[in-house]
A = this chain, B = another copy of it.
Amino acid sequence: MKRRNFIKGAGLGLAASTTLAAPAIAQSMPEVRWRLTSSFPKSLDTLFGASEVMAKRVAALTDNKFQIRVFAAGEIVPGLQVLDACQAGTVECGHTASYYYFGKDPTFAFMTAVPFGLNTRQINAWLYHGGGQELLQKDLYDEFGVQHFGAGNTGAQMGGWFRKEIKTPEDLNGLKMRIGGFAGNVMSRLGLVPQQIAAGDIYPALEKGTVDAAEWVGPYDDEKLGFHKVAKFYYYPGWWEGSAMLSALVNKKAWDALPPQYQSAFEAACLEGQTWMISKYDAVNSAALKRLLAGGTQLRAFPREVLQACHKAAMDLYADTASRNPRFKKVLDHYMAFQAEQLSWFRLSEYTFDNFMLATSSGARRRT
């Protein structure tokens, strides 16, 4: 083996010129302590857990010199104020879903999920190699004084929990539903009354009948939140979140003050967050789904007619929003063009492979 591990600086020049050399070495690895505020409660060990995984990686990459302390929703600021806290410098960084801030500008929704948008693979392609990160950083996040990083994904979410079956688009009319992000604006075009409710408050709202239906993420999280105890029908797909990417936000001044090595550590940790979260959800959702079904939950697919009505409402909302908001229009055009390209490729090998595997395993299941 031709490995050469040799120590530089120490035994060589340092002892001879301590006052010059020592600060140079020490400054390259200063102690930095940051606080991260999460949008999620500790009980959600995947959404919340990702920020712990990222903080652990940053510490390991810097010999514990760069420490990020993770706080759950509400410990520093409420879960839906992570952007504000990062912007104001209350904390150096946060972990959140960008679409929580669609009230400030609906353009934020693209970075998490828009109805009938990109799936998990596709949004990563857009973010890292399709210009998505650069576009939204420059046109949106810079204005809010934060640096953006993709940092986790839930995959395609379930369509949520309903007390009554949804057989036609008219069944959505008048329904009060907890639904996240921009999707509520689509649903309201079909007469649904969307409610923004934080994770921990959804169950009591559903139990008391304050809402008739609620969606969160998927089997693993939804089981933790207990929705199956108060609603029977579990719908799919969550067409408003064909994937939902989480975001790490960093106050710009804090980011610029970091040594390049620590910037690299933070960036690498966020990339790990991406793979860690989606692979964990994929690994644990199946068993949770089985438990839910064993407990009496009934699966229902949204009828095609309902999906089509929702799709039309979404496209109409996009057109209306774009006509009033040039930033939204610019990002929408970019996103939609990219999506069309992605679908033209995914429909070949990816889709036909998955389709064959599902059909074959379904056959195997029926035979047993």
Contacts and interface: CB of A to CB of B under 8 A. Distances in A.
Contacts of A356: 116, 237, 239, 304, 307, 311
Contact of A348 (B1, B57, B125, B299): B299
A119 to B, nearest CB: 6
Contacts of A242: 353-354, 357
Interface string A297-327: 0010100100100010000000000000000
A158 B299 CA distance: 34
Copies in the complex: 2
A340 B286 CA distance: 10
B158 A348 contact: yes
A63 interface: yes
A357 B116 contact: yes
Contacts of A365: 344
B350 A119 contact: yes
A100 to B, nearest CB: 21
Contacts of A33: 3-4
A275 to B, nearest CB: 5
A349 B289 CA distance: 12
A351 B354 contact: yes
A129 to B, nearest CB: 4
Contacts of A155: 121, 349-350
Interface string A13-49: 0110011001101111111111100000000000000
Closest 3 pairs (CB-CB, A-B):
A10-B26, A129-B283, A1-B89
